[in-house]
């Protein structure tokens, strides 16, 4: 670790926490059973919530040989490239960048909450699949957290929920070094961490000297933690930051980013038998003996440089003695053996229960193959859609025939008569809730919840999902439930979903008011970086919130989310587009196995999907003369909802070209359609007033016709539309015609929103809305 840290001396870096945790780094490979290969679904997980201590993690991964031979292996060459561009050892751990890194960490507290998600995943899968004599899921999740992590609100929220849910297979190592970047923690943090966690329902254990204890002590305290069956455990380790880094750095805030003042002395502590023996533990003495044997061999037979270093009693830089490496690699081999035994157990499980519980076995087999979305879902969604549309299509206004002035020029009414009944538009949140329920029924891998607004957003279906709760809290509930009550903890909710997604075999989702997603933007950002296909549903998406007022009117959130790389925002305009939005999400799980993230160097096209919809009514699928149905148009990002002609050819004649293209998304498409009707109405009246005003113009046959030709475009997803080929983009927006006016209408904030990429003019929200109906 000192050698890797030295590579970063020019630019500083926060890596001196590594030096406080050398004993822990010896124990963790044994406790966590880090694997050579990572497709064992029931493996123990380790999360480095203190992401700046990455050198510690990379050193462990190298010693164990995680991902050995693969494109993301932490080989010695990669350790030498620590924090360098293009290496698999970035400054903070990144998911899919390094074999063995379960989640991307760096922003403090995120990893803590991710680990809670992993513990939830294990508890749920165990309840779903474990049977007597067949314990398929039984892994622990370990976390290394620091003072900064526990100050963050997301960790406070997540730890509160973990204690409430009694996630006893979550074990947190708390590096209590009492130092932050600005100085001692007493500047801003004086709470009794043990007391706080005990009050939250945690088991609290302590190590008074985390720097000097033998690795076997860590083993014993972990075994003690595993005896607890009702509570998660936090192990509070008193450590000294920058231990051994020299006077003026050790135990001070300079250890967070300062340079080593005594690198050679530090190397003697870490890379010499004498320094290793000073640890005092039995394992330290054994490793010291192996190092001494290697030094003797190097002194006699090594290169001039390595021989010189060995004769001075210190190993050469970036050198791991073969006996030491063999010892640590044996831990990985042990994990590999357990993985093979687990695969055999799964085979016997399927053979035993195939007749008794065919649905459960089929579900398990599909998840092990990386198939989480059922083949039957899309057919079921189509059935729902046809049922929904059948009763209302005859009542929709027909805007198709612009040659006939008696049709299509009245704005769509808020209500329609269907037979003897009155039909009203459904709210966007209702359509999304109905399709979400359908998705949950067809896909048992779907798990998630809401932050205490389920009744408003329609996110919970008790008969389908149940409740994810320990039976001791509520009779009839269990961890097999698929609805998680996150409470009013939005940030933890969204960060926990990342941990669930990382665990694999599950499809995580959350549904909140759109404005409340701002509480958890760092978690959404981490999902984007990690390419986690998480489903977010944001309702109440703009100003139509009545008395709730501007505090609940998220006009700026839509542009904010669109600005995030590798993130899909879908704003559906009607029930067809809602189904299309879920198809976009389902595509993130098509043809993919999680193991590919470690063995396939090609980038994966997986992204989070945010379906944003309204509190108020959505327009209905108009009898469009456009070539694409709404559920198909969403898959292209934008499409023509209604055109000014019935001909669909690659080349349009001058008479078929529109004068104006109106563009919108979500609820605003209905507004755009009304605008089109009003424009036609207005232009027809102008034509009538002009009749006879000029000799022979306008012709008599134009007397009742509109002068304007208007195309309406729905653009539910900018990101997908931008990925279409130029020919398709031109066919929708006709951007190769300079004399066609394009206007974008959207209830989103006006500042630097990017609408000018698609339109000449934009009609947006210059401010928040008002309180009142």
Angle of helix 322-353 versus helix 22-32 axis, rounded to 10? 30
Taking only Cα atoms into account, the Rg of the chain, rounded to an integer number of angstroms, comes to 31
Same-domain status, 595 and 687:
no
The residue among 90, 37, 104 whose CA lies nearest residue 499 is 104
Write down the H helix ranges in 606-725: 630-633, 668-690, 718-722
Residue 280 has a pLDDT of 52
Same-domain status, 537 and 587:
yes
720: in domain: yes
Residues 634 and 580 sit within 8 Å (Cβ to Cβ)? yes
Alpha carbons within 13 A on the beta-carbon side of 477: 17
Distances (CA, A) of 485 to 84, 160, 459, 488, 615: 42, 12, 11, 9, 22
Same-domain status, 247 and 160:
yes
Residues of the chain with pLDDT under 50: 6, 9-13, 398-422, 592-603, 697-699, 701-703
Residue 562 has a pLDDT of 94
Residues 192 and 184 sit within 8 Å (Cβ to Cβ)? no
Length of the chain in residues, anyone? Answer: 773
Distances (CA, A) of 658 to 570, 628, 743, 769: 26, 18, 12, 33
Q: Which of 582, 612, 642 is the last residue of a domain?
A: 612
250: in domain: yes
Question: What pTM does this model have?
Answer: 0.88
Residue with tokens 């109906």: 773
Same-domain status, 191 and 56:
yes
354: in domain: no
446-450 vs 507-513, strand pairing mode: parallel
CA–CA separation, 428 and 612 (whole Å): 9
Q: Which CATH number fits the domain that encloses residue 222? A: 3.40.50.970
| Residue 304 CB contacts under 8 Å (≥ 6 apart), including other chains | none
What range does the domain containing 445 cover?
Answer: 377-385+426-612
401: in domain: no
Same-domain status, 683 and 555:
no
CA–CA separation, 305 and 331 (whole Å): 31
**Dihedral-angle region of residue 570 (phi above 0 means left; psi in -120 to 50 means alpha; beta otherwise):** beta
Same-domain status, 553 and 673:
no
Residue with tokens 């998911």: 95
Domains in the chain, number? 3
Sign of CA dihedral 407, 409, 410, 416: positive
Q: Which CATH number fits the domain that encloses residue 650? A: 3.40.50.920
Q: What angle do CA 196, 201, 207 make, to 5 degrees?
A: 60
Residues 676 and 643 sit within 8 Å (Cβ to Cβ)? no
DSSP 354-378: TTT-HHHHHHHHHHHTT--S-TTHH
The residue among 518, 509, 655, 532 whose CA lies nearest residue 581 is 509
Tokens of 562: 């669109």
563: in domain: yes
Residues 157 and 491 sit within 8 Å (Cβ to Cβ)? yes
233-238 vs 170-176, strand pairing mode: parallel
352: in domain: no
Same-domain status, 23 and 172:
yes
Residue with tokens 């979903």: 497
Same-domain status, 158 and 290:
yes
Helix, strand, coil content of the chain in percent (nearest 5): 45, 15, 40
406: in domain: no
Same-domain status, 560 and 595:
yes
Residue 649 has a pLDDT of 63
Q: What angle do CA 569, 575, 581 make, to 5 degrees?
A: 30
Residue 757 has a pLDDT of 82
CA–CA separation, 662 and 289 (whole Å): 77
Output phi, psi for 584, to 5 deg: -60, -45
Q: Which of 612, 646, 662 is the last residue of a domain?
A: 612
The residue among 435, 674, 438 whose CA lies nearest residue 575 is 435
Q: Which of 589, 612, 635 is the last residue of a domain?
A: 612
DSSP 546-583: GGG-GGG--TTHHHHHHTSTT-EEE--SSHHHHHHHHH
Distances (CA, A) of 111 to 46, 186, 229: 10, 24, 23
Same-domain status, 306 and 449:
no
Angle of helix 282-301 versus helix 22-32 axis, rounded to 10? 100
Burial class (CB in 10 A: 0-12, 13-18, 19+), 567: buried
728: in domain: yes
Same-domain status, 607 and 630:
no
| Residue 110 CB contacts under 8 Å (≥ 6 apart), including other chains | 49, 103, 104, 154, 495, 498, 522, 523, 526
Q: Please name every residue paired with 609 in a beta bridge, in sequence order, or none if there are none.
A: 535, 568
Residue with tokens 């055999």: 344
Same-domain status, 484 and 589:
yes
CB under 8 A, 24+ apart: contacts of 156-160: 157/113, 157/489, 157/491, 157/492, 158/109, 158/112, 158/113, 158/116, 158/489, 158/492, 158/495, 158/496, 159/112, 159/116, 159/197, 159/200, 159/202, 159/232, 160/200, 160/487, 160/489, 160/492
Catalytic residue set = 490
Residue 758 has a pLDDT of 85
Distances (CA, A) of 130 to 54, 246, 735: 35, 52, 58
Residues 253 and 243 sit within 8 Å (Cβ to Cβ)? no
Burial 646-657 (b: 16+ CB within 10 A, else e): eeeeeebeeeeb
């Amino acid at each position: 670790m000192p050698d890797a840290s030295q590579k970063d001396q020019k630019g500083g870096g926060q890596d001196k926490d590594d030096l406080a945790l050398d004993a822990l780094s010896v124990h963790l490979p044994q406790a966590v059973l880090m694997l050579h290969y990572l497709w064992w679904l029931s493996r123990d997980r380790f999360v480095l919530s203190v992401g700046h201590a990455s050198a510690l993690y990379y050193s462990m991964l190298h010693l164990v040989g995680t991902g050995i031979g693969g494109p993301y292996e932490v080989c010695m060459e990669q350790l030498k490239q620590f924090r360098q561009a293009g290496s698999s050892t970035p400054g903070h751990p990144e998911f899919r960048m390094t074999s063995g890194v379960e989640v991307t960490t760096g922003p403090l507290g995120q990893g803590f909450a991710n680990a809670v998600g992993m513990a939830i995943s294990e508890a749920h899968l165990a309840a779903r699949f474990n049977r007597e004599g067949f314990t398929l899921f039984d892994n622990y999740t370990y976390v290394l957290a620091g003072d900064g992590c526990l100050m963050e609100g997301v960790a406070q929220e997540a730890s509160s929920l973990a204690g409430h849910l009694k996630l006893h297979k979550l074990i947190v190592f708390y590096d209590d070094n009492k130092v932050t970047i600005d100085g001692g923690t007493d500047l801003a943090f004086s709470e009794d961490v043990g007391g706080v966690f005990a009050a939250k329902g945690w088991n609290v254990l302590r190590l008074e000297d985390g720097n000097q204890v033998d690795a076997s002590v860590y083993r014993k305290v972990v075994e003690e933690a595993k005896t607890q069956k009702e509570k998660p455990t936090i192990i509070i380790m008193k450590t000294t930051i920058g231990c051994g880094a020299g006077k003026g750095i050790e135990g001070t805030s300079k250890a967070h980013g300062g340079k080593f003042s005594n690198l050679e002395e530090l190397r003697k502590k870490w890379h010499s038998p004498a320094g290793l023996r000073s640890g005092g533990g039995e394992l330290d003495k054994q490793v010291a003996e192996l190092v001494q044997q290697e030094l003797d061999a190097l002194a006699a037979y090594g290169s001039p440089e390595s021989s010189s270093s060995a004769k001075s009693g210190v190993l050469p830089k970036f050198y791991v003695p073969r006996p030491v490496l063999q010892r640590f690699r044996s831990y990985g081999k042990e994990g590999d053996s357990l993985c093979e035994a687990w695969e055999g157990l799964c085979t016997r499980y399927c053979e035993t229960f195939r007749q008794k519980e065919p649905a459960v076995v089929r579900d398990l087999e599909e998840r092990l193959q990386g198939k989480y979305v059922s083949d039957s879902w899309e057919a079921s969604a189509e059935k729902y859609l046809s049922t929904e549309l059948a009763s209302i299509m005859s009542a929709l206004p027909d805007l198709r025939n612009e040659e006939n002035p008696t049709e299509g020029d009245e704005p769509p009414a808020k209500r329609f008569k269907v037979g003897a009944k009155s039909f009203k538009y459904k709210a966007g949140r209702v359509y999304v809730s109905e399709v979400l329920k359908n998705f949950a029924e067809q896909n048992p891998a779907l798990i998630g919840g809401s932050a205490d607004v389920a009744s408003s957003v329609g996110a919970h279906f008790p008969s389908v999902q149940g409740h994810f709760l320990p039976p001791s809290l509520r009779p009839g509930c269990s961890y097999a439930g698929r609805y998680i009550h996150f409470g009013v903890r939005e940030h933890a909710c969204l960060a926990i979903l990342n941990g669930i997604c990382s665990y694999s075999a599950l499809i995580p989702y959350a549904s909140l008011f759109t404005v409340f997603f701002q509480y958890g933007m760092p978690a959404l950002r981490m999902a984007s970086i990690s390419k986690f296909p998480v489903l977010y549903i944001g309702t109440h998406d703009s100003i139509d919130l009545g008395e709730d007022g501007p505090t609940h009117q998220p006009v700026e959130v839509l542009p904010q989310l669109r600005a995030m790389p590798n993130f899909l925002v879908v704003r559906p305009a009607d029930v067809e587009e809602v189904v299309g939005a879920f198809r976009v999400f389902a595509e993130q799980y098509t043809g993919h196995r999680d193991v590919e993230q470690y063995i396939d160097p090609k980038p994966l096209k997986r992204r989070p999907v945010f379906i944003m919809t309204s509190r108020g009514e959505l327009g209905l699928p108009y009898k469009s003369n456009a070539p694409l149905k709404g559920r198909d148009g969403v898959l292209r990002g934008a499409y023509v909802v209604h055109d000014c002609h019935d001909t669909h050819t690659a080349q349009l004649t001058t008479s078929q070209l529109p004068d104006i293209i109106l563009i919108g998304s979500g609820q605003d498409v209905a507004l755009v359609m009304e605008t089109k009707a009003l424009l036609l109405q207005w232009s027809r009246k102008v034509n009538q007033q002009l009749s006879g005003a000029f000799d022979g113009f306008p012709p008599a046959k134009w007397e009742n016709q509109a002068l304007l030709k208007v195309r309406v475009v729905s653009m539910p997803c900018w990101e997908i539309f931008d990925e279409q080929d130029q020919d398709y983009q031109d066919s929708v927006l006709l951007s190769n015609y300079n004399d066609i006016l394009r206007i974008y209408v959207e209830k989103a904030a006006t500042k630097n929103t990017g609408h000018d990429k698609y339109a000449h003019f934009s009609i947006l929200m210059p401010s928040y809305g008002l309180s009142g109906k």
